[in-house]
Structure 1
Amino acid sequence: MYQDVLIPTDGSDGTRRSINHGVTIADRFDATIHALSVVPEGPLGTLQTDEAIPAAHRAVERIEAEGTREGIDVVTAIEQGVPHEQILEYADDNGIDMIVMGTQGRTGLDRVLVGSVTERVVRMAHVPVVTVRLTDEVRIEDTDEAARIARITAEQDGYDDITVLEEPHRTSASWIVPLDTDAGPVHVHVDAVTGEARIANRSTE
């Protein structure tokens, strides 16, 4: 029934549950996940900053890591433009059967923008759209705490000589903490809501 499931993401906390739902649906129907992040542009000009494109890559990489962990095929894409237009265009161009997306971003303007994008997609899409609201409270908001949990997780997994390679960054309510270890670089994902952590992958950088 569903062969291609699109999960748009801006990396905000509100996408955490939509990612979980999208991965579950794709797993149930043996579908391919399409992870899409749109760097916004609008009538007042680009909203792009120096951090926007790296953040978009991290957002889709989070979905790729979750899908790969469950044995699901994942396609990633970064686009620039008006978010709801790019999402709808991607869905049409890639034979998407379902769109799964969050209804709110982190705070303030993010909440307005993400909610507005979702509303337009629901109204204009030609395929089913599953909307997921963030109801969990983010508990771990401090980079030092995320790094501490990541270190402990790496130690428990048998890694030694652990140092933090770069500042942890948060995407989709998950901290990504790059570590250097005796076995080489690894990335640890720390759930900002539950505090649970796991080694996501060995870094290829």
Structure 2
Amino acid sequence: MYQDILVPTDGSDGTRRSITHGLTIADRFDATVHALSIVPQGPLGTLQTDDAISAAERAVERVEAEATREGVDAVTAVERGVPHEEILEYTDEHDVDMIVMGTQGRTGLDRVLVGSVTERIVRMADVPVVTVRLNDEIRIEDADEAARIARTTAERDGYDDVTVRETPHRTSASWIVPLETESGSLHVHVDALTSEARVAKGPETE
């Protein structure tokens, strides 16, 4: 019934549950998940800063990593333009059967943008749109706490001389903590909702 499921993501907390739902549906129907992030461009000009592009790339990479872990096929794309227009265009061009989106961000501008885009997609899309409301509370909001949990997790998994390589960053309610160990570099993902952590990337050795 469904072969291609689109999960738009901007890396905000508001996309957390939509990613989970999208992957669950894709697994049920043996479908491919399309992770799409939009670098916004509006009437006041482009918002295509290097930081925005990097954030968009991290957002889709996060979906791809979770899909791989769940055994779901995934493709990623980063587009530039007006978010709802780019989502609808991508849907048409890639024969998407379903769109799964969050209905809100958590605060301020994030809440307005996520909700506004989803509302337009619901009204204008020619395919089913599954909307997912965020209602979990973020427990870990501090990068230092995420780093502490990541170091503990790496040490528990047998890594020695563990240090934080770069400042942790958070996407889709998970902290990604780059670490340096005696065996090489690795990433640990710390769930900001549950405090659960796992080594997401094995050692990188020369």
Fold-level match, TM-score > 0.5?
yes
The verdict on how the C-alpha distance between 1:53 and 1:28 changes in structure 2, with shifts beyond 3 A counting, is: same
The match for 2:172 is 172
- Hey, which bits of structure 1, 4+ residues long, moved more than 6 A? none
Counterpart code for 2:3? Q
Please tell me the residue identity of whatever aligns with 2:116: S
Is 2:159 the partner of 1:159? yes
- Matching of residues 85-124 of structure 1 within 5 Å: 85-124=85-124
Q: CA deviation at 1:186?
A: 1.2
Q: Tell me how far apart the structure 1 counterparts of residues 182 and 70 of structure 2 sit (CA, whole Å).
A: 27
Percent identical residues? 78
Partners of 2:148 and 2:139 in 1: CA distance: 14
Residue matched to 2:58:
58
CA RMSD of aligned residues (A): 1.3
Q: 1:1-150 to 2 correspondence within 5 Å?
A: 1-150=1-150
Q: Which amino acid aligns with 1:52?
A: A
Q: Which range is displaced more, 16-25 or 98-107?
A: 98-107
Note the C-alpha offset of 1:203.
Answer: 6.6
Amino acid at match of 2:81: G
CA offsets per residue over residues 117-147 of structure 1, 9 Å max, x none?
0000111111111010110011101000000
Distance 2:148 2:164 in 1: 10
Q: 1:128 & 1:203 partners in 2: Cα distance?
A: 41
Give the secondary-structure state (helix, strand or coil) at the position aligned to 2:127.
coil
Q: Which residue of the partner structure matches residue 186 of structure 2?
A: 186
Q: Deviations over 1:77-105 (max 9, x none)?
A: 00000000000100110011111111112
The letter of the residue matching 1:104 is: Q
Superposed CA offset, 1:39-98 (max 9, x none): 000111112333100100110011011000011111000000000000010011001111
In structure 2, distance between residues paired with 1:9 and 1:36: 6
Matching residue's letter, 1:85: E
Q: CA deviation at 1:109?
A: 1.1
Where structure 1 has 5 or more consecutive residues not aligned to the other structure, the ranges are none
Q: Alpha-carbon deviation of 1:163?
A: 1.2
CA distance in 2, matches of 1:49, 1:189: 26
After superposition, the Cα gap between the structure-2 partners of 1:130 and 1:203, relative to the gap in structure 1 and judged at 3 Å, is: farther
**CA-to-aligned-CA distance 1:13-42 (integer Å, 9 cap, x gap):** 011101110111111111111000000001
**Gap runs ≥5 in structure 2:** none
